[in-house]
Protein backbone atom coordinates (compact mmCIF):
# COMPACT_ATOMS: atom_id res chain seq x y z
CA UNK A 1 0.00 0.00 0.00
CA UNK A 2 1.32 3.45 -0.85
CA UNK A 3 2.10 6.09 1.75
CA UNK A 4 -0.17 9.08 1.81
CA UNK A 5 0.75 12.70 2.53
CA UNK A 6 -2.28 14.73 3.63
CA UNK A 7 -4.39 12.11 1.88
CA UNK A 8 -2.80 12.89 -1.50
CA UNK A 9 -0.45 10.47 -3.25
CA UNK A 10 2.75 11.88 -4.75
CA UNK A 11 5.18 10.42 -7.28
CA UNK A 12 7.52 9.46 -4.42
CA UNK A 13 4.78 7.29 -2.94
CA UNK A 14 4.84 4.90 -5.89
CA UNK A 15 7.52 2.26 -5.37
CA UNK A 16 9.97 2.40 -8.25
CA UNK A 17 9.85 -0.69 -10.41
CA UNK A 18 13.23 -1.33 -12.05
CA UNK A 19 12.12 -2.68 -15.40
CA UNK A 20 15.63 -2.54 -16.83
CA UNK A 21 18.90 -0.94 -15.85
CA UNK A 22 22.51 -0.70 -16.91
CA UNK A 23 24.85 -2.34 -14.39
CA UNK A 24 28.60 -2.98 -14.39
CA UNK A 25 27.95 -6.66 -15.07
CA UNK A 26 25.45 -6.19 -17.90
CA UNK A 27 21.87 -5.11 -18.60
CA UNK A 28 19.51 -6.22 -15.85
CA UNK A 29 15.80 -6.91 -16.50
CA UNK A 30 12.90 -7.86 -14.29
CA UNK A 31 11.68 -11.12 -15.87
CA UNK A 32 8.15 -10.22 -16.99
CA UNK A 33 7.40 -13.77 -18.09
CA UNK A 34 7.55 -14.84 -14.43
CA UNK A 35 5.29 -12.12 -12.97
CA UNK A 36 3.08 -11.93 -11.00
CA UNK A 37 4.06 -15.00 -8.96
CA UNK A 38 7.85 -14.58 -9.05
CA UNK A 39 9.85 -11.36 -8.95
CA UNK A 40 13.13 -12.43 -10.50
CA UNK A 41 15.79 -10.61 -12.49
CA UNK A 42 18.02 -11.64 -15.38
CA UNK A 43 21.30 -9.98 -16.32
CA UNK A 44 22.33 -10.08 -19.97
CA UNK A 45 26.06 -10.08 -20.53
CA UNK A 46 25.98 -10.01 -24.35
CA UNK A 47 23.92 -8.19 -26.96
CA UNK A 48 22.56 -11.47 -28.32
CA UNK A 49 21.15 -12.21 -24.86
CA UNK A 50 19.49 -8.78 -24.94
CA UNK A 51 18.01 -9.60 -28.36
CA UNK A 52 16.66 -12.87 -26.91
CA UNK A 53 15.00 -11.20 -23.90
CA UNK A 54 13.29 -8.69 -26.21
CA UNK A 55 12.10 -11.48 -28.55
CA UNK A 56 10.91 -13.70 -25.67
CA UNK A 57 9.17 -10.80 -23.93
CA UNK A 58 11.18 -10.91 -20.72
CA UNK A 59 11.11 -7.19 -21.45
CA UNK A 60 8.22 -5.80 -23.47
CA UNK A 61 6.25 -2.61 -24.06
CA UNK A 62 7.33 -0.17 -26.76
CA UNK A 63 9.36 2.36 -24.72
CA UNK A 64 11.09 -0.37 -22.67
CA UNK A 65 11.94 -2.26 -25.86
CA UNK A 66 13.53 0.93 -27.24
CA UNK A 67 15.78 1.50 -24.23
CA UNK A 68 16.60 -2.23 -24.02
CA UNK A 69 17.74 -2.03 -27.66
CA UNK A 70 19.94 1.00 -26.91
CA UNK A 71 21.50 -0.73 -23.90
CA UNK A 72 21.92 -3.94 -25.90
CA UNK A 73 23.87 -2.13 -28.62
CA UNK A 74 25.99 -0.29 -26.03
CA UNK A 75 26.74 -3.65 -24.41
CA UNK A 76 27.71 -5.21 -27.74
CA UNK A 77 30.07 -2.32 -28.48
CA UNK A 78 31.51 -2.43 -24.95
CA UNK A 79 32.34 -6.14 -25.41
CA UNK A 80 33.86 -5.62 -28.87
CA UNK A 81 37.44 -6.76 -29.41
CA UNK A 82 37.81 -4.56 -32.51
CA UNK A 83 41.14 -2.78 -32.68
CA UNK A 84 40.29 -0.08 -35.18
CA UNK A 85 37.35 2.10 -36.18
CA UNK A 86 36.66 0.17 -39.40
CA UNK A 87 36.27 -3.16 -37.61
CA UNK A 88 34.17 -1.56 -34.89
CA UNK A 89 31.84 -0.04 -37.52
CA UNK A 90 31.37 -3.46 -39.11
CA UNK A 91 30.58 -5.01 -35.74
CA UNK A 92 28.29 -2.11 -34.81
CA UNK A 93 26.20 -2.65 -37.97
CA UNK A 94 25.91 -6.35 -37.23
CA UNK A 95 24.80 -5.70 -33.63
CA UNK A 96 22.15 -3.21 -34.80
CA UNK A 97 20.92 -5.73 -37.36
CA UNK A 98 20.43 -8.47 -34.77
CA UNK A 99 18.61 -6.11 -32.39
CA UNK A 100 16.42 -4.72 -35.21
CA UNK A 101 15.15 -8.22 -36.07
CA UNK A 102 13.64 -8.89 -32.63
CA UNK A 103 10.15 -7.35 -32.81
CA UNK A 104 8.76 -5.49 -35.82
CA UNK A 105 5.81 -3.38 -34.58
CA UNK A 106 7.07 -1.15 -31.75
CA UNK A 107 8.66 1.73 -33.64
CA UNK A 108 10.55 2.78 -30.49
CA UNK A 109 12.96 -0.08 -31.27
CA UNK A 110 13.95 1.53 -34.58
CA UNK A 111 13.87 5.03 -33.08
CA UNK A 112 16.36 3.91 -30.41
CA UNK A 113 18.64 2.16 -32.90
CA UNK A 114 18.72 5.33 -35.01
CA UNK A 115 19.54 7.50 -32.02
CA UNK A 116 22.44 5.24 -31.00
CA UNK A 117 23.61 5.01 -34.63
CA UNK A 118 23.61 8.82 -34.97
CA UNK A 119 25.72 9.06 -31.82
CA UNK A 120 28.10 6.39 -33.12
CA UNK A 121 28.51 8.14 -36.49
CA UNK A 122 29.21 11.44 -34.73
CA UNK A 123 32.01 9.87 -32.66
CA UNK A 124 33.54 7.52 -35.22
CA UNK A 125 36.92 9.22 -35.36
CA UNK A 126 37.36 9.24 -31.59
CA UNK A 127 39.39 6.63 -29.64
CA UNK A 128 37.48 3.36 -29.21
CA UNK A 129 37.30 3.67 -25.42
CA UNK A 130 35.60 7.04 -25.77
CA UNK A 131 33.06 5.70 -28.25
CA UNK A 132 32.22 2.81 -25.93
CA UNK A 133 31.73 5.11 -22.94
CA UNK A 134 29.64 7.60 -24.94
CA UNK A 135 27.23 4.90 -26.15
CA UNK A 136 26.73 3.61 -22.60
CA UNK A 137 26.01 7.16 -21.43
CA UNK A 138 23.58 7.76 -24.31
CA UNK A 139 21.62 4.60 -23.44
CA UNK A 140 21.51 5.65 -19.77
CA UNK A 141 20.33 9.13 -20.83
CA UNK A 142 17.50 7.52 -22.84
CA UNK A 143 16.50 5.59 -19.72
CA UNK A 144 16.29 8.75 -17.60
CA UNK A 145 14.52 10.69 -20.36
CA UNK A 146 11.89 8.00 -20.70
CA UNK A 147 10.85 8.36 -17.05
CA UNK A 148 10.71 12.17 -17.34
CA UNK A 149 8.68 11.84 -20.57
CA UNK A 150 6.17 9.58 -18.86
CA UNK A 151 5.79 11.96 -15.95
CA UNK A 152 5.15 14.87 -18.36
CA UNK A 153 2.61 12.74 -20.25
CA UNK A 154 0.98 11.91 -16.93
CA UNK A 155 0.57 15.60 -16.05
CA UNK A 156 -1.11 16.34 -19.40
CA UNK A 157 -3.24 13.22 -19.45
CA UNK A 158 -4.46 13.48 -15.86
CA UNK A 159 -6.55 16.50 -16.85
CA UNK A 160 -8.60 14.18 -19.09
CA UNK A 161 -9.39 11.67 -16.35
CA UNK A 162 -12.70 11.84 -14.48
CA UNK A 163 -12.63 13.32 -10.95
CA UNK A 164 -13.97 9.99 -9.86
CA UNK A 165 -14.91 6.86 -11.78
CA UNK A 166 -13.85 3.78 -13.66
CA UNK A 167 -11.00 3.83 -16.18
CA UNK A 168 -10.41 0.85 -18.42
CA UNK A 169 -6.99 -0.05 -19.78
CA UNK A 170 -5.81 -2.81 -22.10
CA UNK A 171 -2.50 -4.69 -22.00
CA UNK A 172 0.23 -3.16 -19.83
CA UNK A 173 1.35 0.38 -20.56
CA UNK A 174 2.84 0.92 -17.13
CA UNK A 175 6.21 1.07 -15.41
CA UNK A 176 6.91 -2.42 -16.73
CA UNK A 177 6.40 -1.30 -20.33
CA UNK A 178 8.70 1.69 -19.89
CA UNK A 179 11.68 2.66 -17.74
CA UNK A 180 9.29 3.70 -14.97
CA UNK A 181 5.90 5.33 -14.23
CA UNK A 182 4.28 4.29 -17.52
CA UNK A 183 2.33 5.91 -20.34
CA UNK A 184 -1.34 4.97 -19.90
CA UNK A 185 -0.73 3.94 -16.28
CA UNK A 186 1.34 7.12 -15.86
CA UNK A 187 -1.79 9.10 -16.75
CA UNK A 188 -3.74 7.13 -14.15
CA UNK A 189 -0.96 7.52 -11.55
CA UNK A 190 -0.83 11.29 -12.15
CA UNK A 191 -4.62 11.55 -11.85
CA UNK A 192 -4.45 9.73 -8.50
CA UNK A 193 -1.62 12.04 -7.40
CA UNK A 194 -3.92 14.97 -8.21
CA UNK A 195 -6.49 13.56 -5.80
CA UNK A 196 -8.79 11.92 -8.35
CA UNK A 197 -10.55 8.74 -7.27
CA UNK A 198 -9.91 6.25 -10.04
CA UNK A 199 -10.95 2.62 -10.13
CA UNK A 200 -9.03 0.79 -12.84
CA UNK A 201 -10.57 -1.98 -14.94
CA UNK A 202 -7.71 -4.01 -16.40
CA UNK A 203 -8.49 -6.20 -19.41
CA UNK A 204 -6.67 -9.48 -18.85
CA UNK A 205 -5.34 -9.24 -22.44
CA UNK A 206 -5.21 -12.68 -23.93
CA UNK A 207 -3.14 -14.40 -25.10
CA UNK A 208 -0.10 -13.13 -23.14
CA UNK A 209 -2.10 -11.78 -20.17
CA UNK A 210 -0.19 -8.51 -19.76
CA UNK A 211 -3.27 -6.97 -18.12
CA UNK A 212 -3.94 -9.57 -15.45
CA UNK A 213 -0.30 -10.48 -14.79
CA UNK A 214 1.46 -7.12 -15.11
CA UNK A 215 -0.97 -4.19 -14.92
CA UNK A 216 -2.73 -5.67 -11.90
CA UNK A 217 0.65 -6.41 -10.23
CA UNK A 218 1.85 -2.84 -10.66
CA UNK A 219 -1.37 -1.22 -9.53
CA UNK A 220 -1.63 -3.50 -6.49
CA UNK A 221 1.86 -2.35 -5.49
CA UNK A 222 0.65 1.26 -5.74
CA UNK A 223 -2.58 0.63 -3.84
CA UNK A 224 -4.67 1.87 -6.79
CA UNK A 225 -8.02 0.00 -6.77
CA UNK A 226 -8.10 -2.43 -9.68
CA UNK A 227 -10.53 -4.98 -11.06
CA UNK A 228 -9.31 -7.51 -13.61
CA UNK A 229 -11.84 -8.53 -16.25
CA UNK A 230 -11.51 -10.98 -19.10
CA UNK A 231 -11.41 -9.22 -22.46
CA UNK A 232 -14.92 -10.27 -23.43
CA UNK A 233 -16.39 -8.49 -20.38
CA UNK A 234 -15.38 -4.97 -21.45
CA UNK A 235 -18.57 -4.27 -23.45
CA UNK A 236 -20.83 -5.34 -20.59
CA UNK A 237 -18.90 -3.14 -18.13
CA UNK A 238 -19.30 -0.16 -20.46
CA UNK A 239 -23.03 -0.83 -20.86
CA UNK A 240 -23.43 -0.99 -17.08
CA UNK A 241 -21.90 2.50 -16.78
CA UNK A 242 -18.82 1.31 -14.89
CA UNK A 243 -16.34 2.80 -17.35
CA UNK A 244 -15.98 6.59 -17.63
CA UNK A 245 -12.83 6.71 -19.74
CA UNK A 246 -10.37 4.42 -21.48
CA UNK A 247 -6.63 4.96 -21.69
CA UNK A 248 -4.19 2.70 -23.52
CA UNK A 249 -0.61 2.88 -24.79
CA UNK A 250 0.66 2.46 -28.35
CA UNK A 251 3.37 0.57 -30.19
CA UNK A 252 3.31 2.76 -33.27
CA UNK A 253 1.15 5.69 -34.31
CA UNK A 254 0.93 6.43 -38.03
CA UNK A 255 1.20 10.05 -39.23
CA UNK A 256 -2.60 10.26 -39.57
CA UNK A 257 -3.21 9.14 -35.96
CA UNK A 258 -4.06 5.46 -36.61
CA UNK A 259 -2.82 3.55 -33.55
CA UNK A 260 -1.19 0.11 -33.44
CA UNK A 261 -1.45 -1.37 -29.96
CA UNK A 262 -1.95 -4.75 -28.30
CA UNK A 263 -4.43 -7.04 -30.03
CA UNK A 264 -7.92 -6.29 -28.72
CA UNK A 265 -7.42 -2.52 -28.51
CA UNK A 266 -9.46 -2.00 -31.69
CA UNK A 267 -12.47 -3.86 -30.22
CA UNK A 268 -12.26 -1.72 -27.07
CA UNK A 269 -12.18 1.49 -29.16
CA UNK A 270 -15.21 0.49 -31.23
CA UNK A 271 -17.14 -0.42 -28.07
CA UNK A 272 -16.16 2.91 -26.51
CA UNK A 273 -17.58 4.80 -29.49
CA UNK A 274 -20.86 2.88 -29.24
CA UNK A 275 -21.15 3.79 -25.55
CA UNK A 276 -20.00 7.41 -25.90
CA UNK A 277 -16.92 6.82 -23.69
CA UNK A 278 -13.73 8.79 -24.44
CA UNK A 279 -10.90 6.63 -25.77
CA UNK A 280 -7.44 8.08 -25.06
CA UNK A 281 -4.01 6.93 -26.21
CA UNK A 282 -0.92 7.91 -24.20
CA UNK A 283 2.40 7.60 -25.99
CA UNK A 284 5.71 9.46 -26.26
CA UNK A 285 6.42 11.26 -29.54
CA UNK A 286 9.06 8.59 -30.23
CA UNK A 287 6.11 6.24 -30.86
CA UNK A 288 4.82 8.41 -33.72
CA UNK A 289 6.07 7.17 -37.07
CA UNK A 290 5.74 10.13 -39.44
CA UNK A 291 7.14 8.02 -42.26
CA UNK A 292 4.14 5.71 -42.21
CA UNK A 293 1.18 7.72 -43.51
CA UNK A 294 -1.56 5.41 -42.19
CA UNK A 295 -2.18 2.35 -40.07
CA UNK A 296 -2.35 -0.10 -42.97
CA UNK A 297 1.40 0.43 -43.42
CA UNK A 298 2.30 -0.70 -39.89
CA UNK A 299 3.90 -4.17 -39.77
CA UNK A 300 2.00 -6.44 -37.37
CA UNK A 301 4.04 -9.04 -35.50
CA UNK A 302 2.70 -12.59 -35.77
CA UNK A 303 3.70 -14.65 -32.75
CA UNK A 304 3.86 -18.37 -32.02
CA UNK A 305 0.42 -19.99 -32.05
CA UNK A 306 1.36 -21.79 -28.85
CA UNK A 307 0.61 -18.56 -26.95
CA UNK A 308 -3.01 -19.09 -28.03
CA UNK A 309 -3.26 -22.87 -27.76
CA UNK A 310 -1.66 -23.11 -24.30
CA UNK A 311 -2.24 -21.31 -21.02
CA UNK A 312 0.51 -21.71 -18.41
CA UNK A 313 1.79 -24.74 -20.28
CA UNK A 314 -1.59 -26.49 -20.47
CA UNK A 315 -3.08 -27.23 -23.89
CA UNK A 316 -6.48 -25.57 -24.36
CA UNK A 317 -7.37 -26.51 -27.95
CA UNK A 318 -7.41 -29.84 -29.75
CA UNK A 319 -4.29 -30.99 -31.58
CA UNK A 320 -3.99 -29.75 -35.14
CA UNK A 321 -6.48 -26.85 -34.93
CA UNK A 322 -5.44 -23.75 -36.85
CA UNK A 323 -4.84 -20.63 -34.77
CA UNK A 324 -3.86 -17.05 -35.48
CA UNK A 325 -1.77 -14.91 -33.17
CA UNK A 326 -1.33 -11.33 -34.36
CA UNK A 327 0.24 -9.47 -31.43
CA UNK A 328 -1.25 -6.08 -32.36
CA UNK A 329 -4.15 -4.46 -34.16
CA UNK A 330 -4.71 -1.02 -35.61
CA UNK A 331 -7.35 1.36 -34.28
CA UNK A 332 -8.34 3.93 -36.90
CA UNK A 333 -7.84 7.54 -35.80
CA UNK A 334 -11.58 8.21 -35.98
CA UNK A 335 -12.06 6.18 -32.77
CA UNK A 336 -9.37 8.06 -30.85
CA UNK A 337 -10.65 10.98 -28.73
CA UNK A 338 -7.15 12.35 -28.03
CA UNK A 339 -3.49 11.32 -28.03
CA UNK A 340 -1.53 12.33 -24.93
CA UNK A 341 2.18 13.02 -25.50
CA UNK A 342 4.93 14.53 -23.35
CA UNK A 343 4.51 17.81 -25.25
CA UNK A 344 0.75 18.09 -24.86
CA UNK A 345 -2.54 16.64 -26.04
CA UNK A 346 -3.18 16.05 -29.74
CA UNK A 347 -6.70 16.00 -31.16
CA UNK A 348 -8.01 15.32 -34.67
CA UNK A 349 -6.95 16.03 -37.31
CA UNK A 350 -3.89 14.18 -36.00
CA UNK A 351 -1.87 14.69 -39.18
CA UNK A 352 -1.55 18.32 -38.13
CA UNK A 353 -1.66 18.16 -34.33
CA UNK A 354 1.01 15.45 -33.98
CA UNK A 355 3.40 17.29 -36.30
CA UNK A 356 2.83 20.53 -34.38
CA UNK A 357 3.65 18.84 -31.07
CA UNK A 358 6.73 17.09 -32.42
CA UNK A 359 8.18 20.25 -33.88
CA UNK A 360 8.01 21.81 -30.43
O1 LIG B 1 3.56 -7.29 -26.85
P2 LIG B 1 3.82 -6.22 -25.82
O3 LIG B 1 3.55 -6.66 -24.43
O4 LIG B 1 5.19 -5.63 -25.99
O5 LIG B 1 2.78 -5.09 -26.18
C6 LIG B 1 2.74 -3.94 -25.41
C7 LIG B 1 1.66 -3.01 -25.78
O8 LIG B 1 0.90 -3.24 -26.68
C9 LIG B 1 1.62 -1.72 -25.03
O10 LIG B 1 0.32 -1.26 -24.89
C11 LIG B 1 2.45 -0.66 -25.79
O12 LIG B 1 3.72 -1.15 -26.07
C13 LIG B 1 2.56 0.60 -25.03
S14 LIG B 1 3.59 0.42 -23.64
C15 LIG B 1 3.81 1.91 -22.88
Domain ranges, ordered by start, for the chain = 11-150, 155-359
pLDDT at residue 360, as a whole number: 82
Q: Is 102 helix (H, G, I), strand (E, B) or coil?
A: coil
Q: How confident is the model at residue 10 (pLDDT cuts 50, 70, 90)?
A: low
* Contact criterion met (CB below 8 Å) for 220 and 2: no
Looking at 146, 222, 251, 329, which residue is catalytic?
Answer: 251
* Contact criterion met (CB below 8 Å) for 283 and 342: no
Domain topology for 11-150: 1.20.120
177 lines ligand 1 (CB under 6 A): yes
Phi, psi of 348 (to 5 degrees): -60, 145
pLDDT at residue 4, as a whole number: 38
Residues linked to residue 130 through DSSP beta bridges, in sequence order: none
pLDDT at residue 14, as a whole number: 59
Is it the case that residue 149 has pLDDT exceeding 80? yes
Tell me which residue has its CA closest to atom 5 in ligand 1: 61
* Alpha-carbon distance values, 71 to 132, 143, 246, 311 (Å): 11, 9, 32, 32
Sort strands 226-229 and 197-203 into parallel, antiparallel or unpaired. parallel
Is it the case that residue 114 has pLDDT exceeding 90? yes
Q: How confident is the model at residue 12 (pLDDT cuts 50, 70, 90)?
A: low
Report how far ligand 1's centroid is from the alpha carbon of 90 (Å): 32
Is it the case that residue 1 has pLDDT exceeding 50? no
Our answer to whether residue 118 is catalytic in this structure is no
Over residues 176-222, the pLDDT tens digits come to 999 999 999 999 999 999 999 999 999 999 999 999 999 999 999 99
210 lines ligand 1 (CB under 6 A): yes
| CATH architecture of the domain with residue range 155-359 | 3-Layer(aba) Sandwich (3.40)
Indicate if the alpha-carbon torsion angle 53, 56, 59, 64 is positive or negative. positive
Over residues 241-287, the pLDDT tens digits come to 999 999 999 999 999 999 999 999 999 999 999 999 999 999 999 99
* DSSP percent split of the chain into helix, strand, coil, nearest 5: 45, 20, 35
Give the residue-averaged pLDDT of 116-125: 96
Mean pLDDT of the chain, nearest integer: 96
Q: What is the pTM of this model?
A: 0.95
Rounded Cα–Cα distance for residues 156 and 241 (Å): 25
Indicate if the alpha-carbon torsion angle 74, 115, 33, 15 is positive or negative. positive
Rounded Cα–Cα distance for residues 341 and 83 (Å): 43
Amino acid sequence: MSKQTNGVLTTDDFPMIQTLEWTDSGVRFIDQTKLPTEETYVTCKTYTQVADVIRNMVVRGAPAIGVAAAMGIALGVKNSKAENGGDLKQEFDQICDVIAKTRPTAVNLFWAIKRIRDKFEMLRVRPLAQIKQALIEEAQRMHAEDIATNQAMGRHGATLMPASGGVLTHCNAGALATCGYGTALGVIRAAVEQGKTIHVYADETRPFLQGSRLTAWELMKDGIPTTVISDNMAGAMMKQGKINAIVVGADRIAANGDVANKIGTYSVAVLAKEHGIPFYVAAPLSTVDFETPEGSGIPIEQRDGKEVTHIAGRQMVPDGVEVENPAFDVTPAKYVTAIVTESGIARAPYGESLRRLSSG
